[in-house]
């Protein structure tokens, strides 16, 4: 890794941090330590970095706001790449061109300011645009698949290419990018509609109040743990199994919303994973429903 660090500094790839606690970079506030964290300056530096990582057979991962990731407590013996500098936002009429590192919440409020409707669902999703495009983030019966027209990516061959909506194969919390993580989202083009600014604001405020009442936002979590199965709700199934308030270590099934697992007592990554596995198995045994986990486990191999 010393050679890798020397390369990053010599080639001026971008700011670099060593031995960073992943608790600071995930919304669950869990995880071990990552050897290296890099903030590439631009697309060329990012491609140069990835090529070198591949040549040296060093593992790496693109990290957004860590709002859908559960890192193990072990050392991440690789390089995490944050695209925070890829955060430019350009609005022209109803079309928004936005970098992968931009905040989805910030973008939704910028759309409100411009009187554009279609992004209201995203005003409470604490992730980056790149992460949202990757996993097809959504809420309130809408998702990124409805508004993303095209995405600029780095291909596995390290070429820059445009993928269009039809190429992205958007489904419920799924996409071509999620199925092919060797592609890296750099930028997205989002198409909205003109709307009534007052009505957009009212809808966003109403939903914000609803979230505050119904979700345990005062604790570290990563939102909904399981996808809602067809015709049912994961939270209801978990609650019906008597699991509200069930605890493993510092992780607890929220009593406010059973599809949230919260870190309310200095939980470890193992606590969170073990609790997710326990809830999944209990629900399957009691109801026969095989709940699908929305969140991603990293560094558990």
pLDDT tens for 25-63 read 999 999 999 999 999 999 999 999 999 999 999 999 999
CB neighbour list of residue 18: distance below 8 Å, 6 or more residues apart? 5, 35, 36, 37
Q: Are 76 and 95 contained in the same domain? A: no
Q: Secondary structure of 3-65 in the HEC alphabet?
A: HHHHHHHHCCCEEEEEEEEHHHCCCCCCCCEEEEEEEECCHHHHHHHHHHHHHCCCCEEEECC
If you ran DSSP here, which 8-state letter would residue 128 be given? B
**Residue 179 in domain:** yes
| Contact between residue 135 and residue 129 where contact means Cβ atoms under 8 Å apart | no
Q: Are 110 and 78 contained in the same domain? A: no
Phi, psi angles (nearest 5°) of residue 274? -60, -35
| pLDDT of 288 over the 90 cut | yes
Q: Are 93 and 23 contained in the same domain? A: no
CATH value at residue 13: 3.30.43.10
Domain stop point among 173, 199, 225: 199
Q: What is the pLDDT of residue 1?
A: 87
Candidate list 108, 123, 221, 224, residue with the active-site label = 224
Domain stop point among 199, 234, 268: 199
**Residue 244 in domain:** yes
The number of domains in the chain is 3
If you ran DSSP here, which 8-state letter would residue 228 be given? P
**Residue 206 in domain:** no
Mean pLDDT, to the nearest integer, of 8-22? Answer: 97
Q: What's the domain range around 176?
A: 89-199
Q: What is the pLDDT of residue 301?
A: 80
**Residue 205 in domain:** no
- The per-residue pLDDT for range 86-135, each reduced to its tens digit, is 999 999 999 999 999 999 999 999 999 999 999 999 999 989 999 999 99
**Residue 258 in domain:** yes
Q: Which is it for strands 95-99 and 184-191: parallel, antiparallel or unpaired?
A: antiparallel
- The per-residue pLDDT for range 141-197, each reduced to its tens digit, is 899 999 999 999 999 999 999 999 999 999 988 999 999 999 999 999 999 999 999
| pLDDT of 232 over the 90 cut | yes
| pLDDT of 248 over the 90 cut | yes
**Residue 208 in domain:** no
Q: Hey, how many other C-beta atoms are within 10 angstroms of the C-beta on 90?
A: 11
Give the separation between CA 153 and CA 259, rounded to whole angstroms.
Answer: 33
Candidate list 120, 150, 187, 294, residue with the active-site label = 294
**Residue 102 in domain:** yes
Chain centroid to CA 49: how far?
Answer: 22
Candidate list 108, 120, 173, 175, residue with the active-site label = 173
Q: Are 230 and 274 contained in the same domain? A: yes
Q: Hey, how many other C-beta atoms are within 10 angstroms of the C-beta on 132?
A: 26
DSSP string, 278-301: HHHHHHHHHH---PPB-SEEES--
Q: Are 74 and 95 contained in the same domain? A: no
CB neighbour list of residue 114: distance below 8 Å, 6 or more residues apart? 91
Annotated active-site residue 294? The verdict is yes
Q: What is the pLDDT of residue 94?
A: 98
Q: What is the pLDDT of residue 192?
A: 98
Annotated active-site residue 173? The verdict is yes
Give the separation between CA 152 and CA 150, rounded to whole angstroms.
Answer: 7
pTM, full prediction: 0.93
Annotated active-site residue 157? The verdict is no
**Residue 287 in domain:** yes
CATH value at residue 141: 3.30.465.10
Q: What is the pLDDT of residue 99?
A: 98
169-198 burial by CB neighbour count: b if 16+ within 10 A, else e? Answer: bbeebbbbbbeeeebbbbbbbbbbeebeee
Mean pLDDT, to the nearest integer, of 260-281? Answer: 98
* Summary mean pLDDT of the chain: 96
% of the chain beyond a pLDDT of 70: 100
**Contacts of the segment 277-286: beta carbons below 8 A, 24+ positions apart:** 278/246, 278/248, 279/225, 279/226, 279/238, 279/241, 279/243, 279/246, 279/253, 280/226, 282/241, 282/243, 283/237, 283/238, 283/241, 283/243, 286/240, 286/241
In sequence order, the β-bridge partners of residue 164 are 150
Q: Are 70 and 133 contained in the same domain? A: no
Q: What is the pLDDT of residue 204?
A: 96
Going 207 to 84 to 131 to 192, the CA torsion angle's sign is positive
Q: Are 160 and 228 contained in the same domain? A: no
Angle at 221 between CA 258 and CA 79, to 5 degrees: 140
Q: Are 113 and 175 contained in the same domain? A: yes
Domain stop point among 164, 199, 234: 199
Q: Are 96 and 177 contained in the same domain? A: yes
């Amino acid at each position: 890794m010393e050679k890798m660090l020397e390369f990053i500094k010599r080639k001026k790839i971008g700011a670099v941090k060593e031995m960073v606690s992943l608790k600071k970079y995930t919304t669950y506030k869990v995880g071990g330590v990552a050897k290296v964290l890099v903030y590439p300056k631009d697309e060329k530096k990012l491609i140069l970095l990835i090529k070198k990582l591949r040549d040296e057979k060093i593992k790496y991962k693109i990290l957004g706001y860590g709002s859908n990731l559960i890192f193990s407590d072990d050392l991440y013996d690789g390089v995490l790449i944050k695209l925070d500098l890829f955060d430019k936002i350009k609005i022209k009429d109803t079309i928004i061109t936005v970098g992968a590192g931009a905040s989805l919440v910030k973008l939704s409020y910028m759309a409100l300011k411009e009187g554009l409707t279609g992004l209201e669902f995203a005003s409470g999703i604490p992730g980056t645009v790149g992460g949202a495009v990757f996993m097809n983030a959504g809420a309130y019966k809408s998702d990124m698949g409805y508004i993303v027209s095209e995405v600029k990516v780095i291909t596995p061959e390290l070429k820059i290419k445009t993928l269009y909506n039809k190429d992205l194969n958007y489904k419920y919390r799924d996409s071509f990018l999620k199925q092919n993580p060797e592609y890296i989202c750099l930028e997205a083009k989002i198409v909205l509609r003109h709307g009534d600014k007052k009505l957009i604001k009212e809808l966003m405020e109403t939903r914000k109040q609803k979230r505050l009442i119904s979700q345990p936002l005062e604790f570290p979590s990563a939102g909904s743990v399981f996808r809602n199965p067809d015709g049912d709700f994961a939270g209801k199934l978990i609650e019906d199994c008597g699991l509200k308030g069930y605890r493993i270590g510092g992780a607890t099934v929220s009593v406010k919303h059973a599809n949230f697992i919260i870190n309310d007592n200095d939980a470890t990554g193992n606590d969170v994973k073990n609790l997710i596995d326990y809830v999944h198995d209990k629900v399957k045994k009691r109801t026969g429903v095989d709940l699908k986990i929305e969140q991603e486990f990293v560094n558990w191999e």
